[in-house]
Structure 1
């Protein structure tokens, strides 16, 4: 009987509670009218469970439909009413706040970003909210509206005055009518393509893409060729690079011989590492992993090997950068990019050096990614959400000012014709410097999600001119050869870079910034290191030059079947005195003679046809004697004969300058 009475009392109390609990009608739409009704009910009944449920359920609904700023604003309004649940509510509040700053407003909740920016200024999060508030005007080109808001908000952010000034400069910068072109439906599909990497000669483009016909599973790396101005159906790079995992390409070397990739391939130290693969004939070799300290247990990506192959740039979220340690995929500054900085490592005789942070001019406490150093060796292009921009990651250009790699010009935003309110990154500037390739999301002229595009570059964003030298390396019988190509500063003798010719085709490519007098030579075991020069000290514009190089084997030289022209030996006009620029070539000649145990050498001097026959023979003999005297300083017992032939044996009837030369014959 007692149990029956207790049960009756429990049921009665439950009924009375239900009758006294207000109906919040949480299934109704979140209109202004319904939200006002809920607001009144919550304030009257808090901190009871029903009021708490109403607060959290409405906030979660906003969050679930992608309106995190509404969720944050709503939850923040009532958190103080529920002291016993404060910790849980503050955790939820932080989650909504972080997510809100990664989103963009619609016409209804735009004012909430404005309110947030005003309330929390001058914090970094408030500045992000401000950029979200003006994003719609920027996106639709309502520039005066954006400028008015920039001027209105600037006084609230005394620590961001330079950012506000830079924003106004970006917005008011005169448009140049840049042309944006979709690369076409043979490359782009209904899914995504990204990370475009054109070869220096512009005949191919490598990129990453979602699964498509011919893929090997997951995201793969592909290559397309340009034929008659049209990009062709891309080819999968095959199992040496692609597999069941996701593969992504970061860069291709200037000579086209190395692909830089990143991912969690075999041997990865941490979350994401940098890898490379080298060209072997018409195929690719084996994937290799860059060592510590390029790769670490943190995220390391975006590898970019410089054109001279002396340095490797990359981005990393490792501790010790500019600002506090914020790993990738951690909320901050309106993104999950973390604090990524750009570093450089240098190739030394003992391997790669420790990384050098590019410094505060380039790196910020936020994200700098996707570094690309143009083959001019000076112009750095990268993406950042820490410098003043239009929203998300913007693309910037900076110029290296000295050899420290920490002294850079102020990064220049590439402008509103290139950058958008979203993340803009992965831009690769063509070697000619007048255009770039990028991946754009869901554009009106696109075929799917992310598509590949090209765009002309603003004049101020272009790199220094480059002269492109390419050709084929063969032996004196016409066989294609793989050999090292080394270029140097003729004035100082400093080696400036190296590359290799293709083992199948013999093709090589080098990019030379204007402004120097270059020598370059070909080195291969069993052959004489044939050389040539190109004077770019007065050049202002880049161009293309085709130079085929023939190298002669030591066996042919010893059989006296071939003579060698020593191209990089220089004299002043009408003089037999060796110029300083000849030093590197003469040192190679002496080294060659020593290593190959040459006992006798014949040096033959030639001139052009200017002057009398007698005078030219005397001048050519004296020049041959000057070369002999240089060799004798290092090899005093060397048996050397000299001959002066003047202009009697020309080798080029169209260019008399090529007839001024010095030849050697091994005897």
Structure 2
């Protein structure tokens, strides 16, 4: 009997959208605004009254010419001639995001450097000047640069971030405002938008579908060029092929930060071409027209597996404790870099991809990473991946952290799973762990306790070497006192030689 695979091709609605943005002048620099230093990362507020931007290494910055970026603003009604420093600035990098839809908060990016690493967060300043951090779950940036914007309706936040969920250096992500007023964790916009290089300065047009951004990994006129791409559905990972804005805007220099407001006659952007400093703000006269049509494209299509077309291996994620199906990401590493959202029906990999390494992730769970040869796996079976929940009291076994017999020296490859612990603790800064070292019952019991304690120390040293604070890690060696399997044979005895960690604090 001919075997077939049914695949749901699309979500309920796929949006057919097109954008029209016509240029009616050559770009002109705003000479009254630009300095001999660098202007960058624009936000033009939606009522056309204020332009915000980052000014680099200016003598009037909070830390003078050593300051990597302060936010400045200028009044549009004064022909952009009155730059004013904002109170949010200090010695670290800051770039504007924009105003919330209710006008109550000004959002901005903030990046600092500490102990060899960069860290990023999002700040909110209210109308009285009070500043607080915006709560975004699992927000992480390791780039010295963090750019972003907020949509006109205030429902979507966009960022350029460098983290373990990206395809290269700086990638573009989106966060969603929930009905409860809380922001979702960042979602990668996928590998049509993102490349192995840098994508920065995202800006969403008024149709909430057309994204403008700068990239140095998509080809073009110079180092950074400005592109646009149209969202095809509500996954936010299915985009039209990026289109270069062309030679009217892009040059052999670097162009970034393309923005325009709802009823503005001009678009604004930053260019280093013929600038009097590192980057100058320019404007170009535009006419913008955005239309959209919602088209129902839901359909089930049968693919012939025997013919070799569309052969898929299917995975599902489950809560290891409850067995419930959970959603998450599947991130391919190495040469096959891909980030796939896992829904209720799992995630499918084209069998033609061959050997791959996949990290399965879900918010609130410890990630799992493994290698698979898709060509040897069954197309009829759904492979279940069980993830340990990060709940206080949960005990998680590091099955692939192995030691040479009788020593505290790691066997090659153990670092892969230890790096997942590092990643988890970076993404969950309120989590502390208690390490537990175990041996089998062979040999002297006291020496086994000492050996298991040395292995705890080895794991601790590794985590600390990767930037995790030692105060977040405690542990003890138990020798062979707590077996999980029989010690009567080597096949089961090896299961007792293990390292575990317990979640002892989650806020």
Q: Could you tell me the TM-score, scaled by structure 2's length?
A: 0.47
Q: Which has the larger radius of gyration?
A: 1
Instruction: Specify which structure has the bigger relative contact order, considering alpha-carbon pairs within 8 angstroms and separated by 6 or more residues.
Output: 2
